[in-house]
A and B are shown apart, each in its own frame.
Chain A
Amino acid sequence: MNRLRQRYPLRSVLLGFAAPIGAILFAALASSVILSLGGHSPGDVFQTMFKQAGKPTPFVDMVNQAMVYYLSAVAVSIGFRMNLFNIGVEGQYSLAALGAAYVGGQLTGGGPLHIVAEVVVAVLVGAAWAGIAGVLKVYRGVSEVISTIMLNAIAVGLGSYLLHKLGQSSGNNIQTKPISSSGQFPGISYSGTQSKIFGFLIVAVVLGFAYWFIASRTRFGFRIRATGLNEEAAVASGVNVKRMTLVAMLLSGGVAGLVGLPELLGQTHTFSQTAQSGLGFAGIAIALLGRNSPIGMALAAVLWSFLGKSANQLDFIGVPREIAAIMQGVILLSVVIAYELVRRYRLVLQQKDVAAQLATGEPTERAEPSAPVVTA
């Protein structure tokens, strides 16, 4: 009996892993087909990518990139918890990074407060930009998907306008005034390479922990999830959905504001038009891949970053590195399909369990189905 009880979670766990692993295998297969059609050997490509990932400098690069992806994914997943689709992380983080870079460049000294000021500015700008979508959603019923898509595009124009206004030219590039040393986040050394792991890693880890704690151990997190799962039930139990929507959007935007900071405070120390873009969309993919769980998103961020960074080496063996983007997209699409299939399969299993219980008249727990599927 005890043994059977233990097999329940095992089945559940196995099914949980089946989806992402199946999706990764499918993506490997699909990209192998594309590579073969283009006249490249898939074996060589995968080998090159894994070899590259093992070297110190690319490894540090990869960790840094994964950290940035992770922050973006957390931002997106805060919205997801409440059925809000924050596509606007892209615009939120780019404006936030610009704001933080400008304020950071204006300040001098102040020790750790300098960094705190930069982080606060980034969070506020990100939250404010997301807040526009939140207000439109709450007071005018505008879908946040549409408004954040529009706000992303506006952020591009606004960002480059502000950069020209606030920045100074260096060479043929325009950038904000460099942040002095007190506003820079110290890095962590890694043996065998000059590159450093961004110290912002600590913030990312703390944030991941806080996210887990708030989401699963506090009343606030419960309300957010309850609203996301069943809005009417949440209203009936006294949750102010409008306020929660606005707060969730602001929180999501605030975290999104952090996305640009690891690179800004750890490496470039100035904001220019060469700052990384596309992190918001990667965050959506990673949040979905990791199913909004802090650990899952961390693993997904590492995978995403591995694909993106190790593909840079592919140009040297004559394979376009864009194959990585194809892999990433295929993984995303197939993982959500796989999750959906697993969900349906689970329902079928549950129905069979219930049917078996009813048939025998006693509460037995059957781990593996033996009869063919009849209920749909």
Chain B
Amino acid sequence: MTTSTVTETVTPAPRRFSRTSPSLLLVVALGAFLVLSAVRTLTGGYDLTSSGTVAAGLSAAVPIGLAGLGGLWAERSGVVNIGLEGMMILGTWGCGFLGYNHGAWAGLVFGTLLGAAGGLIHAIATVTFGVDHIISGVAINIIAPGLALYLTKVTFAHYEGGGQKQSPPINDAKAITLPFSHWLHTIEDKHWFAVSDLAGLIGGVATRLSLVTLLAVVVLVVSGWILWRTAFGLRLRSCGEAPYAAESLGVNVYKYKYIAVVVSGAMAGLGGSALAISAHQFRDGQTGGRGFIGLAALIFGNWRPGSLAAGAGLFGYTDAIQLRSSAAVHALLLLMAIALALIALWQWRTGQRAIAVVALVIAVLSVLWFADTKKVPDELVGTTPYVVTILVLALASQRLRMPKADGKVYRRGEGH
């Protein structure tokens, strides 16, 4: 605790928001849950909180969250990593390569290693050679899909069950089901306000929970603990906030950046592996921009692990809901309008009148859209994570604070 407050208290900004307290978070979560069940009851979009949606959303959130976690590691050390998508692709291929005859876990390990290798390339380019972080990321995003497809044609195309663009099937990782889950489904089917929603929520988590998902949760918690509760993490974050100050205190900034970016690649690789395992094979183009959605989750989560997970959960949830029910997607519009109205209220109170008005206008438009149509076009639903991120950036950006030296090239001994 004492270590983590060092960087926080240096800037005596008068109206800085304090670390969000757990009780406030609980209230917000409870409020969101009640609004969700109210909307579900009113609109009849039962899939909003059904256990099926929750389960699907959870497994969709895992790759996004891991990619975002990769972004967290890199950006907390001051290196922007838009190569996450490419590293994820390496992970999916690696998982397919070892997964098909050595099982999911071997594939997972190899995919993670390949992701880390991608991270190492990024680290060499950005840390050692001081190349612009975005450029290096773009290059990795060009190389990785080409390399994965090249390797697929060299290897999988000759394997039984494989093809020019896909690997042979991977065995599933184990999943666990808690014993009480079947009567949760009974409650869920009654469609009572709040109670059934809660049952759906728990039921979705408790039924056929993949061990990979559990692993992702553990990795998230451990990452948060390392970055915010250890001396190592403090030093790593100091490289992202003030590298020259860290240098003057004897921190080997290059070393920390290297470690962070390699871990970042490993996280993306793990995310890719999780994706391949849940799809039971590697496929070309499988990641579908999830590396970028991970980046979006990172920004949405204000460069913090907990809210990053919430962002990943939200994006995974919209992903799942889109596949399951158009009525539920339609209800999402109403939810978005409520969230925007709340933002408008908050911005108005903090004196940002113009932004409040913009938020309110978009909220009203959402309500009108909701009232006017029966269904949101499928093509637009997939853009939800990106639209949400843009809205958050545009309407609530003063709440966001990225690491101060994020994306800046650091050369040892050149601080002035």
A associates with B: yes
| Contact A146 B139, CB 8 Å, known A85-B134, A140-B394, A340-B129 | no
Measured in the bound complex, the distance between the Cα atoms of B296 and A154 in whole Å is 13
Nearest B residue to A327 via CB reads B146
Is the C-beta of B38 less than 8 angstroms from some C-beta in chain A? no
User: A281 in the interface, Cβ–Cβ < 8 Å?
Assistant: yes
Complex partner residue of B394 from A136, A322, A330, CB under 8 angstroms? A136
Q: Return chain A residues, CB-CB under 8 Å to B147.
A: 34, 322, 325-326
- A325 contact set on B, CB distance < 8 A: 142-143, 145-147, 149-150
Residue count of chain B within 8 Å CB distance of chain A: 44
Task: Provide the A289-322 mask, 1 if CB < 8 A to any CB of B, else 0.
Answer: 0000000000000000000000000000000101
Query: Complex formed: what's the CA distance from A140 to B354 in Å?
Result: 12
Q: How far is the CB of A301 from chain B (nearest CB, A)?
A: 15
Contacts of B101 on A, CB cut-off 8 Å?
none
A285 touches B139 (CB 8 A): yes
Q: How far apart sit A34 and B397, CA to CA, in the bound complex (Å)? A: 45
Minimal beta-carbon separation of B333 from chain A (angstroms)? 15
Which one of A13-21, A116-124, A158-166, A193-201 contacts B?
Answer: A158-166
Q: Give the distance to chain A from B282, nearest Cβ to Cβ, in Å.
A: 15
Say yes or no: B379 contacts A164, CB within 8 Å. Answer: yes
- Is B336 engaged at the interface, CB distance under 8 Å to the other chain? no
Could you mark each residue 140-156 of chain B with 1 if its beta carbon is under 8 Å from any beta carbon of chain A, else 0?
11111111011001100
Q: Name the one of B140, B144, B150 contacting A323, with C-beta atoms under 8 angstroms.
A: B150
- Asked whether B299 lies within 8 Å of A146 as measured between CB atoms, the reply is yes
A146 to B142, Cβ gap below 8 A?
A: no
Q: Which residues from 216 to 251 on chain B have a C-beta closer than 8 Å to any C-beta of chain A?
A: none
Task: Output the residue of A87, A161, A329, A330 with the most chain B CB within 10 A.
Answer: A329
Q: How far is the CA of A151 from the CA of B387 in the complex (A)?
A: 8
Known A-B contacts A146-B393, A281-B138; the reply to A340 vs B145 at CB < 8 A is no
Complex formed: what's the CA distance from A222 to B379 in Å?
A: 43
A161 near B132 (CB under 8 angstroms)?
Answer: no
A127 within 8 A of partner (CB): no
B129 touches A341 (CB 8 A): yes
Do A336 and B131 touch across chains, with their CB atoms under 8 A apart?
yes
Chain B residues lying within 8 Å of A336, measured Cβ to Cβ, are 125, 131-132, 135-136, 139
- Bound form: Cα–Cα A142–B396 in Å: 11
CB–CB A154/B387 < 8 A: yes
Complex Cα–Cα for A276 and B82 (A) = 23
Contact partner of B397 among A38, A140, A156, A324, CB < 8 A? A140
Asked if A175 lies at the interface with its beta carbon under 8 angstroms from chain B, I say no
Complex CA gap A257/B45 in Å reads 40
How near does chain A come to B296, taking the closest CB pair, in angstroms?
7
Identify which of residues 319-367 in chain A touch chain B, using a CB-to-CB cut-off of 8 Å: 320, 322-326, 328-330, 332-333, 336-337, 340-341
**Least CB distance, A246 to chain B, in whole angstroms:** 15
A142 to chain B, nearest CB (A): 5
* A73 at interface, CB cutoff 8 A: no
* Nearest CB of A to B361, in Å: 15
Q: Are A38 and B150 in contact (CB under 8 A)?
A: yes
B396 to A, closest residue via Cβ: A140
A157, B393: Cβ atoms closer than 8 Å: no
CA distance A324 to B143 in the complex (A): 9
CB-CB < 8 A to A326: which residues of B?
143, 146-147, 150
Tell me whether B90 is interfacial, beta carbon within 8 Å: no
A330 to B86, CA, bound (A): 14
B298 (CB) vs chain A CBs: closest residue? A146
The answer, yes or no, to whether A150 is at the interface (CB within 8 Å) is: yes
Cβ A337 vs Cβ B129 within 8 A:
yes
B23: shortest Cβ distance to chain A, in Å?
31
Residue B292 at the chain A interface, CB threshold 8 Å: yes
> Contact between A330 and B299 (Cβ–Cβ < 8 Å)?
no
Question: Closest B-chain residue to A288, C-beta based?
Answer: B135
Q: Which residues from chain B contact A234 at a C-beta distance below 8 Å?
A: none
Please give the distance in Å from A159's CB to the nearest CB on chain B.
8
A330 to B150, CA, bound (A): 14
Inter-chain contact B142/A281, CB cutoff 8 Å: yes
A142-B397 in contact (CB<8A):
yes
Cβ of A153: which chain B residues have Cβ within 8 Å of it? Answer: 289, 292, 383, 385-386
Give a binary string over B363-390; 1 marks a CB under 8 Å from any A CB, 0 the rest. Answer: 0000000000000010111110111011
Check: A284 CB closer than 8 A to any chain B CB.
Answer: yes
A160 to B378, CA, bound (A): 10
Distance, CA A19 to CA B295, complexed state (A): 32
Any A CB within 8 A of the CB of B44:
no
Contact partner, B125, options A160, A322, A337, Cβ 8 Å:
A337
Q: Which B residues contact A (CB, under 8 angstroms)?
A: 80, 82, 121, 125, 129-132, 134-136, 138-147, 149-150, 153-154, 289, 292, 295-296, 299, 377, 379-383, 385-387, 389-390, 393-394, 397
9 sample A-B contacts, Cβ–Cβ < 8 Å, listed by A number: A34-B150, A153-B292, A153-B383, A153-B386, A160-B379, A285-B138, A323-B146, A332-B138, A333-B131
Question: Residues of A with Cβ closer than 8 Å to B?
Answer: 34, 38-39, 85, 87, 136, 140-142, 145-147, 149-151, 153-154, 156-158, 160-161, 164, 281, 284-285, 288, 320, 322-326, 328-330, 332-333, 336-337, 340-341
Closest 10 CB pairs of A and B: A325-B146, A329-B143, A157-B383, A329-B142, A320-B153, A322-B150, A161-B379, A333-B139, A150-B386, A153-B386
